[in-house]
Structure 1
Amino acid sequence: MKTLAPIALLATLTLAAGTAGAQGQPVIGLITKTETNPFFVKMKEGADAEARKLGAKLLSAAGKTDGDNAGQVTAMENMMAAGAKTILITPSDSKAIVPAIKKARAQGVMVIALDSPTDPLEATDALFATNNYKAGELIGQYAKAALGGKPAVIATLDLFPGHPVGAQRHNGFLKGFGLPAPDAKSNELGGKAAGVVCMADSFGDRAKGQTGMENCLQKNPNINLVYTINEPAAAGAYNALKAAGKEKDVVIVSVDGGCAGVADVGKGVIAATSQQYPLRMAAMGVAAGVEYARTGKKVSGYTDTGVALIAAKPVSGVESKDVKTGMDLCWGNK
């Protein structure tokens, strides 16, 4: 949270839950990694809209930064004290959050992971998320075709070590490109397969993506393909390539489908991106929470919330949607 200390947040949530309880409303919590990332802003919008539609009370909170596990644990505790019987969470730390989730579930709270799985996956009741391995495969297939038979000299700008989403996208990209890769269940990045000359952690950040790309260019100035964990990292990579006078010689592929990223596809900054749908994830999570509150029925397992490849220039053998379609379905500021 940005402004509320834990005690103040608890008081706010308790008051809200008391009002909701008096009206017989289901109380559902949503905890995102941050409150500023457009992806999570759209997720909150989706949750808000579905809660209003179904007559539920939504409590929301976020970590201060991506990776703020302590902030998410505090938010879970506060929401349980406020009467939430379902908590939707995008885990910042897939392993460290597990004890807090176990505690919540032991008290009868249904916990659904959105976007990012826990480690182990079974720590939550259910997962509503993009098939991140498939998202990676799609951009890997596109990149292979876009190079047109040229030998690949690849840099990967990843998330950070041990994060399952980062591993799944990275490994899916390798698989789609036709390189040896771990399967979708692995949380470890595939190593430097043939053609991968540099791997850097970007933390999904534009500035860190630019620094990572600059470092990769120092290692090998002949890079002609860049995989990025998300579109801010891709924008940073492009800035580094442009500063080096190499932006026209390199194919950049990414994952997210935010409005800024799709616009960058239209501008030629990114060749293709795999679009995911945070509003859909959150709406489905709220609906499941309302169902649990009213009938006691829990959801379980993994639900794929969809992914589509967005590209300005279609390539043979790889299904994609155009930039206009991507902009119609994107999230964030247009």
Structure 2
Amino acid sequence: MKKFMGKVLALSMSIMMVLSLTACSSSDSGSGSKEGGKIGVAMPTKDLQRWTQDGENMKKKLEEAGYEVDLQYANNDIATQVSQIENMITGGCELLVIASIDGGSLSTVLTEAKNEEIPVIAYDRLIMDTDAVSYYATFDNYKVGQIQGQYIVDTLKLDEEKGPFNLELFTGSSDDNNCHFFFGGAMDVLQKYIDDNKLVVKSGQTKFEEVATPNWSTEESQKRMDNILTANYSGGEKLDVVLSSNDSVANGITNALKAAGYTKDNFPVLTGQDCDITSVKNILAGTQSMSVFKDTRTLADQVVKMVTQIMKGETVDVNDEKSYDNGKGIIPTYLCEPIFADVDNYKKLLIESEYYTEDQLK
């Protein structure tokens, strides 16, 4: 009887081992994503095209590199993003990639990440007032603003023409640290022309707090532009140029200008950023002049590279170790290069690179 029971026990253990190995084999053969560890990716919203693209690119590239990915969108709600990050921490994520909604609202939850020794990469938006951020990956956001400002200078030929040209200023959400770089870079180029009265801001709204757009909202920018046009341009004065830090804000400006009677034949010079489909269509229609192209595939590739270097304990690839202070110290940063797209070069930048297809822009 003892021999029989021994055989039964041995057989049972063998079956359990086989089942266990089969389960492991089945899990690994699915996407192969668990071999590198689990990565949490927190994105702010799906409401803006660029964040959807960023999230999808990040997930795809990380999974191709062998990682399991927990991708979450927070619908632009800070409490939701905090909760999602908490779940990533307790759910076994070994590294976090976070594009924050509000860069100053994550210090408490990221203290939990630091206590668990989970590295954090701030993605495109610098996370402020916490020592839990390990690295920052973004585009050169000051240069984004400089490109927009220089485009205005070149298009209006401000170094040759006397002017004056009427200018209005729009940037994004004041709780997005990047806005200070976008607006600062643009004003670094434009301020001297304002001082020389070649550019005149008839609304008088030139301070960052006055020109910020909550949540980068198309609706909010449209309302503000409606008010500016009514108060300052209702007597036949022409608006010549609008600085807009990104495309969602530019879309609201475009809506207001169209409603006020502007057409492609007299539309102001209008800048943007992200090359969202709607804005590229507007560029082709003559109701937006340019958009700074930030190829999310390039940023995703770089972040995946940084993730792998961190996970393997290798030296992490950065190219700026002095510019980005989050209030707790300088964050080692990798800056990708932006470039602008307009009607003359959009095919090369966006179509030939397979970022979009021709059909998407019809």
Pairwise same-fold verdict (TM > 0.5): yes
Aligned to 2:240: 224
Residue 86 of structure 2 is aligned to residue 90 of structure 1: no
How far apart are 1:312 and its partner, in Å?
A: 2.3
Aligned to 1:5: none
How far apart are 1:122 and its partner, in Å?
A: 6.1
Residue deviations 1:41-74 (CA, integer Å, cap 9, x gap): 1112211221222111011112122xx2211111
How far apart are 1:100 and its partner, in Å?
A: 2.0
Return the letter of the residue paired with 1:173.
Answer: A
The one of 192, 195, 200 equivalent to 1:195 is 200
What is the percentage of aligned positions where both structures have the same residue? Answer: 19
**C-alpha distance 114-331 of structure 1, shift in aligned 2 (>3 A):** farther
Aligned to 2:226: 214
**C-alpha distance 47-79 of structure 1, shift in aligned 2 (>3 A):** same
How far apart are 1:38 and its partner, in Å?
A: 1.5
The one of 284, 295, 303 equivalent to 2:334 is 303
Aligned to 2:120: 111
Aligned length: 295
Aligned to 2:24: none
Return the structure number with greater relative CO, CA threshold 8 A, min gap 6: 1
Asked whether the equivalents of residues 277 and 305 of structure 1 are also in contact (C-alpha less than 8 Å), the reply is no
The unaligned stretches of length 5 or more in structure 1 are 1-18, 182-192, 314-321
How far apart are 1:331 and its partner, in Å?
A: 6.4
The unaligned stretches of length 5 or more in structure 2 are 1-26, 319-331
Q: TM-score, normalised to structure 2's length?
A: 0.73
Asked whether the equivalents of residues 34 and 66 of structure 2 are also in contact (C-alpha less than 8 Å), the reply is no
**C-alpha distance 143-108 of structure 1, shift in aligned 2 (>3 A):** same
The one of 148, 172, 176 equivalent to 2:185 is 172
- Paired residues for 1:66-145 under 5 Å: 68-120=77-129, 124-145=133-154
- The farther-off stretch of 165-174 and 121-130 is 121-130
How far apart are 1:37 and its partner, in Å?
A: 2.1
**C-alpha distance 109-299 of structure 1, shift in aligned 2 (>3 A):** farther
How far apart are 1:278 and its partner, in Å?
A: 2.1
Aligned to 1:34: 45
Asked whether the equivalents of residues 37 and 68 of structure 2 are also in contact (C-alpha less than 8 Å), the reply is yes
SS in 2 for 1:256: coil
Residue deviations 1:131-163 (CA, integer Å, cap 9, x gap): 111111111111122123332322122222242
**C-alpha distance 266-169 of structure 1, shift in aligned 2 (>3 A):** same
Residue 163 of structure 2 is aligned to residue 158 of structure 1: no
How far apart are 1:27 and its partner, in Å?
A: 0.7
**C-alpha distance 278-179 of structure 1, shift in aligned 2 (>3 A):** farther
Aligned to 1:319: none
How far apart are 1:102 and its partner, in Å?
A: 3.1
Asked whether the equivalents of residues 136 and 173 of structure 1 are also in contact (C-alpha less than 8 Å), the reply is yes
Asked whether the equivalents of residues 33 and 66 of structure 2 are also in contact (C-alpha less than 8 Å), the reply is no
Q: Write the distance in 1 (CA, Å) between the matches of 2:184 and 2:100.
A: 20
Asked whether the equivalents of residues 157 and 213 of structure 1 are also in contact (C-alpha less than 8 Å), the reply is no
Q: CA RMSD, aligned part only?
A: 2.8
**C-alpha distance 61-179 of structure 1, shift in aligned 2 (>3 A):** farther
Aligned to 1:184: none
The one of 155, 161, 164 equivalent to 1:146 is 155
Q: Write the distance in 2 (CA, Å) between the matches of 1:275 and 1:81.
A: 36
